[in-house]
Amino acid sequence: MAHMADVYIIGSYSTRFQKWPDKSFKDLTREAYLGVLGDSGLDDGSDIEIAYFGNCGLGTWGQPCIRGQVCFTPLVRDGLFPERVPMVNVEDACATSSVAMNGAWKDILSGQSHLALAMGVEKTYVPGDPARTMELFAGGIDQLDPGEWQAHYRQQGEAAGKPFETGPGRTIFMDTYAMQASHHMRKWGTTQEQIAIGAAKNHNNGALNPLAQYQFEMSVDEVLADREVSHPLTRSMCAPIGDGAAAAILCSADYLRNLPSDVQSRAVKVKASALSGGKYRSLDEPGLTKIAADKAYAMAGISPADIDVAEVHDATSFCEIYQVEMMGFCEIGAGGKFVGDGHTMLDGKIPVNTSGGLVSKGHPVGATGLSMIYELVAQLRGEAGARQVDGARLALAENGGGVMGMEEAAACITILEKDS
| Touching its own copies, residues 245-284 (CB under 8 A) | 252, 254, 275-280
Distance in Å, CB of 155 to its own copies, minimum: 14
Burial class of residue 6 (count of CB atoms within 10 Å of its CB; 0-12, 13-18, 19+): middle
- Catalytic residue numbers? 94, 363
Closest by alpha carbon to 293, among 344, 328, 333?
328
Using the minimum distance from each CB to its own copies, give the nearer residue, 105 or 318.
105
- Is residue 155 part of the contact set for its own copies (CB under 8 A)? no
Using the minimum distance from each CB to its own copies, give the nearer residue, 72 or 338.
72
| Angle (CA) 208 194 318, round 5° | 80
Distance in Å, CB of 96 to its own copies, minimum: 8
The 182-211 site mask, x for binding its own copies (CB under 8 A), equals ------------------------------
Distance in Å, CB of 193 to its own copies, minimum: 33
Residue 37 main-chain phi, psi, to 5 deg? -65, -45
- Is residue 50 part of the contact set for its own copies (CB under 8 A)? yes
Q: Which one of residues 22, 78, 145, 262 is an interface residue with its own copies (CB under 8 A)?
A: 145
d(C-alpha 141, C-alpha 139), whole Å = 5
Cα distances (Å, whole numbers) of residue 256 to 176, 242, 252, 279, 410: 44, 35, 6, 39, 31
Distance in Å, CB of 53 to its own copies, minimum: 10
Using CB under 8 A as the binding rule, the residues of this chain from 98 to 127 that contact its own copies are 99, 102-103, 105-107, 109-112
| Angle (CA) 88 122 389, round 5° | 95
Using CB under 8 A as the binding rule, the residues of this chain from 324 to 363 that contact its own copies are none
Using CB under 8 A as the binding rule, the residues of this chain from 26 to 45 that contact its own copies are 26
In one-letter notation, the amino acid at residue 372 is M
Residue 220 main-chain phi, psi, to 5 deg? -60, -40
Using the minimum distance from each CB to its own copies, give the nearer residue, 90 or 378.
90
Give 102-135 as a DSSP string.
HHHHHHHHTTS-SEEEEEEEEE---TT-HHHHHH
Using the minimum distance from each CB to its own copies, give the nearer residue, 88 or 302.
88
Alpha helix stretches (DSSP H) within 327-405: 335-340, 357-361, 368-381
Q: Which one of residues 42, 75, 85, 208 is an interface residue with its own copies (CB under 8 A)?
A: 85
CB neighbours (10 Å) of residue 191? 14
Using the minimum distance from each CB to its own copies, give the nearer residue, 46 or 112.
112
Cα distances (Å, whole numbers) of residue 5 to 10, 51, 270: 16, 20, 10
Q: Which one of residues 16, 47, 132, 142 is an interface residue with its own copies (CB under 8 A)?
A: 142
Distance in Å, CB of 40 to its own copies, minimum: 20
